[in-house]
Amino acid sequence: MNDRIRLGVSACLLGEHVRYNGGHKRDRWIADMLGPHVEFVPVCPEAECGLPVPRETMHLVGDPDHPRLLTTGTGIDHTSRMARWARQRVRELARRGNLCGFIFKSGSPSCGMRSVRVYAPEGRPSRRGVGMFARAFMESLPHVPVEDEGRLRDPVVRENFIERIFTTHRWHALLAGGRRRGRLVQFHAENKLLVLAHSPKHAKALGTLVARAEALSPTEVFDMYFERLAEALKLKATVAKHCHVLERILGYFKRQLAADERQEVLEAIAAFRRSHVPLVVPVTLLNHHARKVGQPTLAQQTYLHPHPLELHLRNHV
């Protein structure tokens, strides 16, 4: 299996000159910070469906749930062309497999994943639209993590999305080794604290599913597990839930830490709870102690190292 994460992205965000005016919308964080850790799969719906560069601008018109894609000046209808191409492109992406996520261009009539303007003959435009390609993608691949570059400027949203694509990549690695119960048990053991930080309810349900895995077919149990895992990771990992996980990790050490070392960790967790320090502070302390005492269970926990440190995703307060 390819060790690099396959990540779909609107091509203009990588600096490709595919926009209506022949320009681009290169995003430095996506291209320069995230780029070294992924294999980008660039997509430009307008250019790939056969429209020229440059071209007349387009917008969505009519019913927000079933809009038409029209050029803004001449009113040429490209709805059928875009719909046919989008269905085919999504099938190609699904057939290739191992796609771990997609970053869409916000506001685009083809790539916008939410709040796209949809114009009506009269009145103000609605902001309930979804770009035609983005809609086809999300309907066909509902468990593939998606975001747009605008929302990724929010550090909490960014951390959640990157955590999801790295977890999805680990899941694909699991599937590449075969759908065997023992491998699923190991995967759950390594990721249970990560899930717990998002949803205690889902963490309990996944544990129950793994425990009764022998009563189900491998296809059933693996499909059910990933569906619930994807649901869990969409939920926000709050400060309170993080603190619960951090305190639980501290419990793994029992009598292995001196009183002052334990107190130092508790103070770091309390400071994080009050938003005085970022999550990376208590996590770094716990990682240090896990290596120092040789705690094998914690060494495998993805919660303590879910993504590369150089992405600085846990450094925000």
Among 208, 234, 260, give the residue marking a domain's end: 234
Q: Are residues 9 and 126 in the same domain?
A: yes
Residue 158 located in a structural domain: no
Tell me, what's the pLDDT at 254? 85
SS (H, E, C) 109-177: CCCCCCCEEEECCCCCCEEEECCHHHHHHHHHCCCCCEEECCHHHCHHHHHHHHHHHHHHHHHHHHHHC
Q: Are residues 60 and 118 in the same domain?
A: yes
Residue-range definition of the domain harbouring residue 59: 5-153
Q: Which helix (H) or strand (E) holds 285?
A: helix 280-293
Distance between CA atoms of residues 298 and 36, nearest Å? 27
Residue 26 located in a structural domain: yes
Tell me, what's the pLDDT at 117? 97
Q: Domain total for the chain?
A: 3
Whether the CB-CB separation of 209 and 225 falls below 8 Å is answered with yes
Whether the CB-CB separation of 140 and 283 falls below 8 Å is answered with no
3-state SS, residue 77: strand
Q: Are residues 106 and 53 in the same domain?
A: yes
Among 95, 126, 153, give the residue marking a domain's end: 153
The fraction of the chain above a pLDDT of 70, given in percent, is: 99
Whether the CB-CB separation of 83 and 135 falls below 8 Å is answered with no
Residue 317 located in a structural domain: no
Q: Are residues 19 and 87 in the same domain?
A: yes
Distance between CA atoms of residues 156 and 32, nearest Å? 19
Cis link prior to 54 (omega < 30° from 0)?
A: yes
pLDDT tens digits for 238-268?
999 999 999 999 999 988 999 999 999 999 9
Residue 316 located in a structural domain: no
Q: Tell me which amino acid residue 226 is.
A: F
Burial 268-278 (b: 16+ CB within 10 A, else e): bbeebeeeebb
Residue 254 located in a structural domain: yes
Residue 160 located in a structural domain: no
Tell me, what's the pLDDT at 110? 98
Is residue 197 pLDDT above 90, yes or no?
A: yes
Token pair, residue 268, equals 């770091």
Is residue 27 pLDDT above 90, yes or no?
A: yes
Q: Are residues 10 and 148 in the same domain?
A: yes
The fraction of the chain above a pLDDT of 90, given in percent, is: 94
* Mean residue pLDDT across the chain: 96
Distance between CA atoms of residues 39 and 37, nearest Å? 7
Distance between CA atoms of residues 182 and 278, nearest Å? 36
Q: Are residues 76 and 177 in the same domain?
A: no
Whether the CB-CB separation of 18 and 12 falls below 8 Å is answered with yes
pTM here is 0.95
Q: pLDDT band at residue 121, thresholds of 50, 70 and 90?
A: confident
Tell me, what's the pLDDT at 255? 85
Q: Which conformational region is residue 138 in: left (phi greater than 0), alpha (psi within -120 to 50 degrees), or beta?
A: alpha
pLDDT tens digits for 84-119?
999 999 999 999 989 999 999 999 999 999 999 999
Q: What are phi and psi of 254, to 5 degrees?
A: 50, -110
Distance between CA atoms of residues 243 and 264, nearest Å? 15
Q: Are residues 208 and 247 in the same domain?
A: no
């999504």: which residue's tokens?
90
Q: Are residues 22 and 109 in the same domain?
A: yes
Tell me, what's the pLDDT at 1? 44
Q: State the average pLDDT over residues 180-186.
A: 96
Residue 282 located in a structural domain: yes
Q: Are residues 208 and 138 in the same domain?
A: no
Q: Where are the beta strands (DSSP E) in the chain?
A: 5-10, 38-43, 58-63, 66-71, 99-104, 116-119, 126-129, 146-148
Tell me, what's the pLDDT at 299? 87
Q: Are residues 199 and 137 in the same domain?
A: no
Among 187, 202, 234, give the residue marking a domain's end: 234
Residue 159 located in a structural domain: no
Tell me, what's the pLDDT at 123? 75
Query: Taking Cα atoms as reference points, which of 64, 77, 161, 75 lies closest to residue 112?
Result: 64
Q: Are residues 39 and 99 in the same domain?
A: yes
Q: Are residues 143 and 189 in the same domain?
A: no
